[in-house]
Structure formats: structure tokens, C-alpha cells
Structure 1
Amino acid sequence: MNAYRIPEIAKKYVEYDMIRKHTELPAFPDSRARLLYTLLASGKHPSERSELYALVVWLVQLGLDTHDLVDNHSGKRPEREMRARQILVLAGNYFSSRFYHLLSQAGQIEMVRRISNAVCEVNRLKMNLYTRMKQRKVTADEYIGIHTELKTGLFELFGSLLDERLSALYPDLLRGFTRCEVVLNELERVESPGQFEGSWGYWRIMQDGTEDERRQLAQHPREEGLIRQLIAKYNLRAQLTELLRQSIAQVQAVLRLLDSDKLAAELAQIGRKLHPSFALQHAVTNETR
């Protein structure tokens, strides 16, 4: 199998001085793209086709995630903030559009249609989530599940291209790795009061907090003292750490079902880039296969 090169190939599409000067891009969906590439390349698809599919879905996902960074708060803003917002919108549009060009050049018109449909479905799920969040009808568990679904939507459509055995395991592997991503991101947000509003921790308090705590948080969602007090009272870090442990264990359980130790080790390496706990996988795989 050829080395995974998607981040290097994608540089010419994402590294622009104007973007670096005025704003920051979201985290790249690298673990999902690497998972897809590894599974495609281990089967009947040539490395060039595996690389193309991983690249285009990487760019489309980056475009969607970039648009998610655009805040919709009304009101007058400083010129610098307006410039950053405009660049995020344009960058997201550009990343999303590149997949049309790349797939058309390769004669993959049907894949253009399938990815376009998947983008529409992801956007539909986002709108439903935003509506429910506005109505305060989201639980903490639903928040994790929906965000996992949003991040897997584009990648799921490639399962039918895998060999039969891998196709059966792919959904669980994709959801497992992605759930780990989501929980790790929430661990970062719980450490930053400025990012707490709308996070898993926010919805956990809205679900389990007292009426007074929910009222205070709704009225002052960025008040650092209040947020730190609630994080400590409800032990949110420990809850997220346990969620991460469970998610890693679920992925490791699926890795044990693979017929190839070599492939299991390659996928475990993807996990280790997310979190060191995936190193335990070497202790549980069957070395005789």
C-alpha cells in the first residue's frame, strides 16, 4: 500500500496567505480520510482511485466545517471581524467546489451526484439540530450522537465500494473513530469557557442542572466564573473522559474482528494519532493471523 499523502496533496487547495493572515481553518478531518483511504487501498481499488476519493471527501468536509465557523450574530462588527467572516465563507465555498472539478476530471460523474446528495443530507441534519438547540430540546447524549452523524455523513457513502467483509465493519469503524474525535473536541471545549456555549457540557447542565443553574447559564453562557463552577460541580471532565474510554474500547472491539493483523495495526495507528490509549490495541490483537 502506498503511503497516505492526502494532507500533502491538499496543501495546494488550502494553504493561502490571505486565509492564514485573516482567519484560521477548522481541524482537518484527517482520521476519517485516513481510515477511508486505508480501507479502500487494502481492497480492489487502485491507490490512485483511493487517493482521489479520500482527497475529495476531505475537501468537502473541510468546506462544511469552515462554513460552521461563520457566526450568524447580527450587529455591527469591526472591519477585521467582517474580513475574517467573508474569507471563511469564500474559503468554505472554494473547498467544497473543488470536488466537482477533481471528480469530473477523473470521469467520476456518478460520485459527484452521490457526494452532492450526501452534502444535502448533512445540511438538513444541521438545520434540524440548530432548530432543536434553539428550542432547547437537545440532550447531551443526543448532542454527541448527532455530531457524530454529521461528521460521518459524507464518508458513509463509500462503504459500498469496499470488499464485502470490510463493508460490513466500516460503519462501526467510521462511527467509532468519529465519536472519539467528537468527544476529544468536547474535552477541549470544556477547558475553554469561551467555547462552552452550545457544547456537550452546556447541554449536560441544561439537562441535569437545577432550574436556577439552567436559567443562569442561558442568561450568561460565557460567564467564566459560572461556567467553571458548573464544570467542577458536575465533574464534566471525568464524564467526557469516561465517554472517550468507552468509544476507544468500541473501536478496539471492531478491530479484533478484522481478518488481517496488518490492517488492524494500520487502523490502530490512526487511533493513536487521536489518543495514546489506542496503543493498547497491540496487546489484544491475535498475532497468529
Structure 2
Amino acid sequence: MAATAHFYSSSHNSVVQLGLSSGGVLFHGTAVDDRGELAVNTEEAPTHEKVLVTYDVENMTVSVGGIAASADACADLVQRYMDGRQIVLEATTLGFAELFCITRALIALGVNTFHIIYAEPDNYTKPVGGDSYALSELIPGYKPIPHAVVDLSSDEVEAGVFFLGYEPDRMARALAEYQMIAAKSVKVVFGVPAFRAGWELNAIVPHLPMLSEQGDFDIAYCSASDPGSAFECLERTRDSLTAGAKMFIAPIGTKPCGIATAVFASLFPSETGIIFDHPRKKSKRSTGANVWHLYVVRVDRE
């Protein structure tokens, strides 16, 4: 069955202006900074049943509302919340693995419309005396996520897309662990326009030495805050594949690019795999909340 997705985006000044109806279900992660606390705990926001989602990297299990199971069975955990209510994913607090598991479950259960909210930070924090951002406390490394596993050594994998952010060590580690990536058709994507004018340089400049060594990589851009733009970027790579070939995605850039990756990989599992390094977010990694985004995702099935 062929399918695609459309993203309808709106931007707001606060979580209470998002226009969500009361009585829905909100899937969220653990808040580590101001915007996460606001997204999950603002009393003025519409009342939703709040469901905490966590992912165990080592055991590849997911917990939804306190009930844990293999990530393969995530749809079973989510299904009990599918009772006609508005479904909202709080992407500010959800990590990528949690976001992918829930998104894939919703699409597998036949949900055609769901909402995602995301808050941009007012600013990111830097270590004392440091010039670059350090957003992760611990990065376990590139470990598979069920239903998105990819064999990068296979000739079937022709192309890959890296969405890049502020931490160049993350891409460097991928290239070191998977040296066969250099033989693929690789596109690196920066968030331009960025959340704020000038922030794109914080991502581009640290990656330049690495990209100069990997001269065959294509450089592309998509809006840092628009998952629809990132989704179109992935579609272009998919369209370039030969019949029967596959691609991989490394969603190590902005969360809206991660949203696009989660939806895309859920819709095209036979052609798409994900490599991800599962960073543990630093507490207070950002301060304040700037623009709030509401993304309405509509899946069209043929």
C-alpha cells in the first residue's frame, strides 16, 4: 500500500496558544530544561492525559505509561490509548528513539492524523570557558532501533542522509564505526534557515574540517524548524535510488528533522534504515523557550 505524509505547521508565542483541544492524550518524555517543563507541566495548557514514554537502548525496550515491552510491541502498548481522542506527541521532551517508536505505532495502527508540538530554546548553554555547545551528557553510540535496522555493509544500501546539528563528534563517530559509509552516496543536511539568524554557523563551521576530508559528500539545506522541508529532502534521496535499493538516515540534527525521519522511516520501512547514537541530554542544556510549533501530520494511504 502506497502512502505519504503531509505536514501542516503553525508557530505560536506560548504553549497555551497552540489551539489544542482538551481531553486528548499527550505522549511525552522526561523534561531536562525550561521548555520541556513548560511543555509538560503548564497548568494553563489544555488538559490531556499525560503518558510518559521512555526507551531502553541496551535492551531495546520501550515503556509507555509505565508498562514496558519489546520495542517490537510498541503498537500494543499504544493501542489502549486509541479511543478517538486527539493524539499529541510532545517532541521537545521525547528523544528520537521514543519519537520513532510512537510514530511507527500510530501509523501501524492506522492513525491518519496526529499532532506534534515542539518548542525552540531561547538559547543553548555552553560549558564554562567553552566556545561550542555541549548538549549531550553521554552518547552510548550507534545502536539499532527495532524496525529501522540497516546493514550498511550491504550493496543494497546506496545512499544516506545526515541531518547535522551542533556536535560534530557525532558524525565523526559514525564515519569511524561505519567506514563503508564513505562508499555510499551521502548527503549532509544543515538547518538553514536556523531557529535564529546566525545559529546555522554554529552547526556548519565545526563540521567543515570533517567535510573537507570527505570531499564526495553532497551538502544540502532544509529549514531547521520545518519537518515538511526535511521530509521533502528525504523524498528526493529516495527518488534517486535504483529499484530495490535502500537508504539510511542519521537524524542527529534538529528535532523537526528527527520528526521527519520518524514519519518517513515508518512509511517506507523496506527502503529505509536509521543509524542513531542515543545521546543522553544534559540537564539545563537550554534556557527559556522561544517559538512554539504545532505540526499536524496527515498520512495519506492509497
Normalised by the shorter chain, which TM-score bucket?
under 0.3
Q: TM-score, length-normalised on structure 1?
A: 0.25
Structure with the larger RCO, 1 or 2 (CA within 8 Å, 6+ apart): 2
Which structure's residues are more often helix, by fraction? 1
Which structure's residues are more often strand, by fraction? 2
